[in-house]
Structure 1
Amino acid sequence: DVDEERSEQPQAEPLPVEPAQPSAPSSKEDTDSKPVASIGTSRSVKVDQEKIDRLMNLIGEMIVAKNALPFLAKRAEEQHGLRDMAREIKEQYAVVNRIAEEMQDSIMQIRMMPFSFISMRFPRLVRDISRRLNKEVQLIIEGEDTEADKNIIESLAEPLIHIVRNSLDHGIEMPDVRTAAGKSAAGTLTIKASQEADRVLIEIHDDGKGIDPDLIREKAFEKGLIDDATRQRLTDREAVNLVLLPGFSTAEAVSDLSGRGVGMDAVRSAVEKVNGTMALDSEPGKGTHIRISLPMSIAVTRVMIVESDGQLMGVPMDQVLETVRVPRSEIYTVKHVQTTVLRDRIVPLKALNQLLALPSPQVINEEDEHAVLVARVGSDVIGLIVDDFRGSVDIIQKPMSGVLSGIQAYSGAALIGDGSVLMVLNLKEIL
């Protein structure tokens, strides 16, 4: 009997009960812990945009204050001879600069929004328009998780809708026309977003009929947008880009899709308003490719400071290709235009004082060299002759207001570290 009891004891032990006990709440503390855990799973907070904009303004003021420290160190050393103090100020500036940059980056991350915010409406748009036009279109969207500043993403919505409508209406052909041309009956429209350094790239490509440069030349001539000499001189690529001119349209009849008086120039204007660039390439019979390049954020701008006629002016760094010193002996005049050769390429030169109607000639250094800032304006590369370079700096650019808003030569103004106002040049207008 004893042996039987011993053999039954292991079976009678409630082994599973002990691990199961924590699952049953035995006190008020245990029951209270459940709601706390469920609340802790929510990791997002809804914040009004005005509060984020307020943070951006504060970080902007901090950047201006931070930029004052190098000027303070320079004055301590040159005017008061306090070299040790100047060195300590520079060291402290490095610390403040690092913290300010991290804060700026963190606040910008809060303002970031994925490209999917606007791309999510394209599938239905393409489906509805293609049905109305009796066309077959396959839509491909790539890079929907690419992020950019909220204002940048929102400014893209209307231009991209217009481009998509143009591609479906003007670009992609009817199924029978595509089949006769040896293409698949269904056209393909690809919208791709990607990030390149500190810029966002949006590419729109369709495999439609493309743009006929000869037709564009004739239309532009008929509308008086170009003269006969220009029509003969334009290359095919230049002719294709005439569609970006104000008032240009190839639509013969007005419909709710095209021919409404709002052409591709409205798209280009919307892109340039947020400091972006737009390039258009097309090959007849193969399709059209549009490339839009935008800054990641328009809150903080990095500019190259140049000096001319004793004044400091800024040029946005996204337009600057390089800064060089060009000997006066290497500057040539071709058809009344000053040029030089850089990297085996002929670059036209423009004097900044002359462009701004300033009376003084450009200053030459002791080695008989001109300071030249090489910039990209649209698809052109231009050399801007200035007196000297003053380095680059982060600024919070404010648009011109009031009477000054009519001055097209400047895109805005900003405060720099020494308390003075820096005017930011609008190269597209002055060149």
Structure 2
Amino acid sequence: MLSSKRILLIIGGGIAAYKSLDLIRRLRERGAAVTPVVTRAAEEFVTPLSVSALAGEKVYRDLFDLTDEAEMGHIQLSRSADLIVVAPATADLMGKMAGGLANDLASTLLMATDTPVLCAPAMNVRMWDHPATRRNHAQLEADGIRFVGPNEGDMACGEYGPGRMSEPLEIVAAIEAQLGNGPLVGKRVLVTSGPTHEPIDPVRYIANRSSGAQGAAVARALSALGADVVFITGPADIPPPDGVSVVCVETAQQMSDAVDAALPVEVGVFAAAVADWRVSSASDKKLKKSRDGLPELEFAENPDILKRVAHMESGRPALVVGFAAETDNVIEHAMAKRTRKGCDWIVANDVSPATGIMGGSENAVILISDEGAEEWPRMGKDDVAKRLAVKIADALTEQ
């Protein structure tokens, strides 16, 4: 929660400014006081009256307001907040910040402060990818400015790519984390990730195409919200994220044992692509070709980690999230899996070869819960993870 925290919210001039209204509401729900500043361009998208009504405070608009400036109001504004949030942070505002310009109230406040600053960029994908914006972003990060987003998705201009402003709840989570009061502080979370390797002999094994990228991204996003994350990973292509407790395993049985050792936790996110079967009697020597024909392999079923944890009579996590990689009838199969496994949520996706999702950098998921099937647009796996982490934090808050 953000009780007694003061947020100075600078609203830049972009179509995403409409999200700032919901951001104000979300911050005030959590006990924060919001002092809004709107640029002249922002007034083309949201009215000062609507901003003031939601914030319950005066909206600041002009650097040369004589009443306020009689006591150097812009200096006081810039230093009385616990955090300055720029949302949306347009390409113009980022350029002014990086260049040290101060020709209006917003840029002057940002120049005159020693208060931490969090930016939520929002702009056309070509503007975000422009070399000038990339330089400004790098310079601001070097100056200690923190960022949330931008996300990937459809633009108001009809294009697709990075540049969408993060959703209000994502920004709230970033604010809480920035102030050392992340929504998952004090929460212990378990994340499984990657494939498992089930040995046939010392040199051969059964595996799948999972890279571990989505599980690692989820662990990183949960840690960023303050969670104490235990990250149990199979032999993945992606290195584990920093700031989490890493447990490396190879087989499904080893992963099952590691999960037991990590319990109890408040949340279990089972993103690992655990092999369903193993060779019942793996050879301790390399199997050789024989004139007698192909070797006969007998299979045994691996432990069902998700189902076992979801059905625990005592010590069950408050929220159990499973993943379902499907190639057809995605929603139907995912809903059936949620019922069969007994978990709270299923994050389902279509991993048919044509999608390029398995082993790729993007994902397109459907969140299955009591509320039905919520389809998310295709986006980077980091963005999927951030959105999921925020929903997890929100769900715990409501319990």
Report the TM-score, using the length of structure 2 for normalisation. 0.26
Q: Which has the higher helix share?
A: 1
Report the TM-score, using the length of structure 1 for normalisation. 0.24
